[in-house]
Amino acid sequence: MYGLSHPMRFRAEREALRARLAAGEETIRHIAGGFFVPRLKNVGATGYVRSWSDNILWHHFCHFVDLGLFLFGGIPVRRIASHLGPCHERTGIPMECIVML
């Protein structure tokens, strides 16, 4: 079973990159990114308290992993490794994650 977390795929700058990759104009060898979300409470981007709760690291990081897989065009994943940073003192969850595919 596969999950879907596609919102990052369809931003204009990413569509242009994907077109250049498909045309062979560029090659990706490494993708790195960071999210800087100062949210330490269960309040959404709208400023309203959410009726549901999630792990902010995994929520946003899944979008980023999906984007990487999308940009690489479905090549097979041969190895996976990951590392979580230390737990944040206020959230109780790691706020740093590395995933290598």
- Selection from 65, 59, 94 nearest residue 81 by Cα: 65
The DSSP output letter for 91 is: T
In tens, the pLDDT along 47-79 reads 888 776 667 677 778 888 888 888 887 788 888
What is the pLDDT, as a whole number, of residue 24? 92
In tens, the pLDDT along 83-93 reads 888 988 877 77
Q: What is the rounded average pLDDT for all residues in the chain? A: 79
Per-domain residue ranges of the chain: 7-75
Element (H, E) at 56: helix 56-71
Average confidence (pLDDT) over 6-17: 81
